[in-house]
Amino acid sequence: MLVVEDGAYRLLKGSSIRKDLVNSFSSHNYVRLRNQLEQEGYFIISNSSSFFELAKDVEFTSPSAAAAVVRNCSMNGRREWKLKSGMNLDEYENRSSIENLI
């Protein structure tokens, strides 16, 4: 689960983190971040053979970085993260910006 506060994107403890690497992701910039988090013990074994569990909250500067770490592939976080209403983060942020202008 992703929480947005004060311009930071926090992935919450207990979130599922995909284990399998998508081949095209191996040369992506976020691979280094993901590997660092894994080496620092942020990922723990879960009941699933396909996913790790996040051991503690992690803050990101972009929703795409958080999505890439979770899915283990390149993602547009603004389109992939969804609110409970089904609206994606991009739609929500654009709507909020427009409402603030009115």
**pLDDT digit string, tens, across residues 21-56:** 787 787 788 888 999 999 999 999 999 999 999 999
Residue 63: band (very low, low, confident or very high) from pLDDT cuts 50, 70, 90? very high
End-to-end CA distance of the chain: 31
Contact 78, 88 (CB under 8 A): yes
pTM flag (> 0.75): yes
* Percent of the chain scoring above 90 in pLDDT: 58
Beta strands at 58-60 and 2-5: parallel, antiparallel or unpaired:
unpaired
Helix (H, G, I), strand (E, B) or coil at 14: coil
Decide if pLDDT at 93 tops 60.
yes
Output the CA–CA distances (angstroms, integers) from residue 25 to 54, 66, 70, in the order listed.
20, 14, 12
